Amino acid sequence: MPPKRASRTKASASSKDADGQDVVMKGHTPTVAVESAAEESNKTAAADGDITAIVKRSVKRTRELFAEDQENIYSTPTEDQLSQRVKLQSKIHDEYKDIQVLPHPLLVRQKEQLEKKKAKTGSVIAPAPSATAGDVDSGVEKILDTLPKKSSQQSSALVMHKPTIHNPFPDAPGGGTSLVRRPVAKAIRPEWHAPWKLMRVISGHQGWVRSVAVEPGNSWFATGAGDRIIKIWDLASGRLKLSLTGHIGQVRGLAVSPRHPYLFSCGDDKLVKCWDLETNKVIRHYHGHLSGVYALAIHPTLDVLVTSGRDATARVWDMRTKQAVHILSGHTGTVSAVKCQEADPQVITSSMDSTVRLWDLAAGKTMTTLTHHKKSVRAMALHPTEFTFSTASPDNIKQWKCPEGQFMRNFEGPEGVTGGGGIVNAMAVNADNVMFTGADNGAMGFWDWKSGHQFQRLDSLVQPGSLDSEAGIFCAEFDKTGLRLITGEADKTIKIWKEDDQATPDTHPLDWKPSLMRKRY
């Protein structure tokens, strides 16, 4: 009987819990049975390779405290991991898509495999929400392949080379894309130009000479000044031919029509006048500007006049009907200069808000806005034969290409733009690729249009009896031959300049030192 009681005691001391594990009852310490049961369970788990069961058993009580998260310990990748993978794949695609060069046969083979796969499947099935990591990767690759590929941009080290119709081997392996070395930057050698010198000084105005215009026949020119008078001078002799009065403010702009016997003028009195040169009288007025009118230009082929001023607008007028065709608004500052040409853009304006706008004349809207300048743009010049123009601000001079307004180069001299911190008020360019700039401190610069090199710099001399501070240039224009330069200055005089006939490349060699400077926009 005693042996039976012992066996009953052992049976009652050890029982099974719900998980099938040995649990020791209170008041009894069968340590041998517990240890043997734990060893057996560990062996069973190790045999089955169930490491998860071992880990869960060791952290049983901790798992009971955090029961809400125990199901997510060994779950599938979260959405954050998937998004990170997609982000990494997209970055790799953007970084290396332009240099992944595959042989031509391999590209053909891949294309055939894709076509066969499409023919078998018929349609693309959207992946289930619980997709695996491999499915996500394949989906990402498909998405990246369907993205629109951007055109390769020129890099500072390697550029994309695409075969053109002139490629003799377009079907050669690897002929689709290749890596080529970027061409070495070379400084453009400027053309030699003869230096310019003063030819004649003309006096007659009682105020600053603010505007000048040359007649298309190249026989006379007109000037307007702060004395509210328009004077017409003989170009060959420099003698006064006629004086026109009518403005009540200084005359800011002048233009002579190439197809009509008309002279147009504008000034600070908000007036735009049309003068008949056969009767020397005003025949039309163009009313509409709310403030002073600073510049005007005549369209070369249309009967259209464009004016601009302090009201931050440029107005397009019909010469005959005096009606405003368009009001070109968009500038936020004074429109200092306006130019017209036959091809698009037919109207170009520069403003003191440091922008240059190219306008669509038919629609009356802005085509392009150039914001490269950082200071007010006060002068502008169109090349007479090329499809280019230039603009000037106190800090630099820039050259542009029509019709999109593509930046070409900066004009830089050894002493800066003006040499003394002056503001460029006047610009002019002739057919010989000589560009002139005049500043309010009397600094004169002569530039080579092709290279942007300043081949001559002068300081204007004031008229005897004037102050040195009156050495300022407000307007400039070449005559129709390009051999004479007419400038209007602050000492109330008109100066005519010409090239030195005795100068040669030997007597006046080109002072040019090539340098590869950082390209600035």
Residue 510 domain flag: no
Residue 377 to residue 356: CA distance in whole angstroms: 8
Q: Residue 220 in 3-state DSSP?
A: strand
Ordered DSSP codes for 187-205: PPPPPP---EEEEEEEE--
Q: Which CATH number does the domain housing residue 397 bear?
A: 2.130.10.10
Domain extent for 372: 205-425
Contact 293, 272 (CB under 8 A): yes
Q: Rounded to whole angstroms, how far apart are CA atoms 274 and 263?
A: 6
Residue 170 lies in a domain: no
pLDDT of residue 12: 41
Tell whether 421 is covered by a domain: yes
Check the CA dihedral 351-353-354-355 and report its sign.
negative
Rounded CA separation 242/395 (Å): 39
Q: Is 7 a domain residue?
A: no
Q: What is the pLDDT of residue 513?
A: 81
Question: Using one digit for the tens of pLDDT, what is the confidence trace for 428-444?
Answer: 999 999 999 999 999 99
What's the distance, CA 61 to chain centroid? Answer: 66
What is the DSSP annotation of 243-295? Answer: EEE--SS-EEEEEE-SSSSEEEEEETTS-EEEEETTTTEEEEE----SS-EEE
* Confidence (pTM): 0.65
Strand, helix or coil at 314? Answer: strand
Name the stretches of the chain with pLDDT < 70.
1-49, 59, 61-79, 98-103, 122-185, 414, 418-420, 516-521
Q: What is the pLDDT of residue 94?
A: 75
Model pLDDT, residue 44:
56
Kindly state the DSSP code that residue 228 receives in the 8-state scheme: S
Q: Is 239 exposed, middle or buried (0-12, 13-18, 19+ CB in 10 A)?
A: exposed
What's the chain's length in residues? 521
Sign of the dihedral defined by the CA atoms of residues 333, 383, 307, 227, in that order: positive
In a domain, 127, yes or no: no
What b/e string do you get for 137-147 counting C-beta neighbours within 10 Å, with b at 16 or more? eebbeeeeeee
DSSP for residue 120: H
- Give how far Cα 491 sits from Cα of 150, 204, 428, 441, 487, Å: 58, 11, 20, 12, 11
Q: By the 8 A CB rule, do 258 and 298 touch?
A: yes
CA atoms in the 13 A half-sphere facing the CB of 128: 4
Measure Cα distances from 452 to 193, 212, 304, 514 in Å. 13, 25, 33, 12
Domains held by the chain: number: 1
> What is d(CA 133, CA 86) in angstroms, rounded to the nearest whole number?
11
Q: Does residue 408 sit within a domain?
A: yes
pLDDT number for residue 326? 96
Rounded CA-CA distance 381/358 in Å is 14
For residue 316, being part of any structural domain is answered with: yes
Instruction: Return the SS3 of 81.
Output: helix
* CA–centroid distance for 113 within its chain: 44
For 487-521, give one letter per residue: b (16+ CB within 10 A) or e: bbbbbbbbbbbebeeeeeeeebeeeeeeeeeeeee
Residue 19 in domain: no
CB 196 within 8 A of CB 430: no
C-alpha distances (whole Å) from 34 to each of 13, 79, 142, 499 are 11, 43, 57, 115
